[in-house]
Structures are given as C-alpha cells and as structure tokens.
Amino acid sequence: MYVVGRSRESPRLVDASRPRALGVLLVVVAVGATTLVIYPLREITPEVSPGVVYLLAVLLVAVYWGLAFGLLTSLASAAAFNFFHIPPTGRLMIADSAHWVALGVFLLAAGAASVVANLARTRAAEAEGRRGEADLAADTARELLGGATLADALPEAGRLVGAALGLRDVEIVLDPTDAGIGARGVVLDLGGGREALLDLGPGGDDGALRARVRERVAPALEALLRAALDRDRLYADDQDCAAAGGVA
C-alpha cells in the first residue's frame, strides 16, 4: 500500500533545449543587420572604426545563446567586416597591413567580449536557479506543512516539483513497492527505515537531471516529508489520547 502525489499537467516553465539551427540563424541575422548598419557610418568615420559596432552583435548572441555562438559571431563578424567594408571590398583579403592589425584587435576584443558575456549569462542562470530552488522549497513547505495531511498534500507537492523542473507526471510515492520506477526517479530517505520516491516521469531517464535533483532538490524535500510525517504522527497520537479520554 502506498500513497502517490501526481503533478497535474502543466507546461514546462523553462525549456533548456535550444536548436542549434536557431542559434546559427541568430548569428546570421545579427551579423547581417550590423553589416547593413555600418554602411552609412562609413561616410562619417574612418574605414576601420565602424567595426566596433559588430561587438554589439557578439554581446547579444553570447548573452542569449552562450559562448560557442558568441565566438562564432566573432568570426562571422570579422569575415563580414573584411568582405564588405575593408578595402578591397568584395574579397576576403586585406591590402593594407594596418587593416590586419585592426582586424586582429577586433577578433581579440570580440572573443574577450564573448567570454565576459557568457560568464555573466552563467552567473545569472545560477542565481535564477538558486532562487527557483528556494521558491520551490518555500512553496512545498507551505503545502506539506500548511494544515492538510501528508496524503492530501502530496498531489499539489508533486505538481509544484514538476512545474519547477519543467516536467509532467511527476509523482511523490511514499513506501514504494514497484522498484522498477526508480530508474527514472530519485529515492528519498525519510528515516526510520522508510523511503519515498520522487518519480520524474518520462523525462526522468536523463541521468544529469536526476543528479541535479538528487543534489539540489532531494535534501529539502526529504526534510519536509519527514516533518510532515512527524506532524501526522503527533496528530494521530492526539486523536488517540482524546478518544481514550472520552471513553474513560
């Protein structure tokens, strides 16, 4: 006999999968748009100065798509700047040695900008992840310890965990009897020889996801489930005492 809390169907909050083709399209659009913007600037600035505008495209792509696409944008920007704006235009060659220096400096600056932008992106993602985990812990604590019995609270707790992870059909199983479903979930130690299973559903066969859940979500969930079980036991003891007193 076991109790299950199942998440209601809900859309993924964050879709971590980004098609590479879309990233390449973003690079092409960003470099192409910047190349067009530079044309009117050539009339009022030295011929190599407008190249700094490409750094905006590099930063944009690196921030929203990561380091690899930022570096790709750097290379594409250098090629486009050479082909369309550095004499002789229309060919991937440079006649003036000073232009080689300018292009080399641009590539170094663009690469550095990609690294810095990606670092900022990573730090922001980590901070957002920690805030999401804290919000999940608070919401789950409110649900599991907020008055309902553990059996009544499990469905909503399962929904909260599933929504935070971007998964559907997440189940919290107390005292599971089907060992097979553990292949797509995380075992929770409730103490006293009892266990629970956080079954992640169809998406739970991802080993990296299970490792992250085991490290960042499971400890708080274990503590909350233990506290909810203790509360239920105390409530049952109070009820038994009250019943015994009434009989006496």
Q: Looking at the structure, tell me whether residues 223 and 159 fall in a common domain.
A: yes
Query: Are both 155 and 240 inside the same structural domain?
Result: yes
With respect to residue 239, please indicate whether it lies within any of the assigned structural domains. Answer: yes
**Structural domain of residue 177, as residue ranges?**
3-13+148-247
What pLDDT, in 10s, does the model give residues 73-84?
A: 999 998 898 888
- For residue 201, give the nearest of 62, 8, 1 by alpha carbon: 8
DSSP tag of 95: S
Establish if 141 belongs to a structural domain. Answer: no
- 93 and 156 together in one domain: no
* 181 and 221 both lie in a single domain: yes
Sequential DSSP letters for 163-226: HHHT-SS-EEEES---GGGGGGEEEEEEETTEEEEEE-GGGGG-HHHHHHHHHHTHHHHHHHHH
Asked whether residue 112 falls in the same domain as residue 185, the answer is no
pLDDT at 111 over 50: yes
* In the block, residue with structure tokens 């009544």: 152
For residue 247 the two structure tokens come to 């009989």
Q: How many domains does the chain have?
A: 2
* pLDDT for position 239: 67
- Say what the pLDDT of residue 247 is: 52
pLDDT in tens, 9-33: 333 323 445 778 888 999 999 999 9
pLDDT digits (tens, 9 = 90+) for 119-142: 888 888 888 878 888 888 888 999
- 167 with 208, same domain: the answer is yes
User: Which of 3-7, 182-186, 205-209 has the lowest average pLDDT?
Assistant: 3-7
Q: From the CB of residue 48, how many other CB atoms can be counted at a distance below 10 Å? A: 19
